[in-house]
Amino acid sequence: MPYYEFIVEGQGGGPDARVLEDETGLRCRPSGPALRLDGELADRAALHGMIDRMFRLGYRLVAVERRSTRHGT
């Protein structure tokens, strides 16, 4: 299954890792003023759905990268 890493920033304050982790099902960890999220997504539709979900939750997507494996455990 494809593995992705996202970097997001919150609007009007720092991102809340616990809330975003609960809402997305991805692992979240702080990265300066942003959050890094990572996890497996089944297909391209799941990727687009995740990007849409982050947007609806009020987060700004800074970067997304497809990876072959989990980095920085």
The structural domains of the chain, with segments of one domain joined by +, span 3-67
Q: How many angstroms separate the CA atoms of 70 and 41, rounded? A: 13
**pLDDT tens for each residue of 31-63:** 888 889 999 999 999 999 999 998 998 889 999
31 burial class (0-12, 13-18, 19+ CB within 10 angstroms)? middle
| Two structure tokens written together for 60 | 């700004």
What is the CATH code for 3-67? 3.30.70.3400
Q: What is the pTM of this model?
A: 0.82
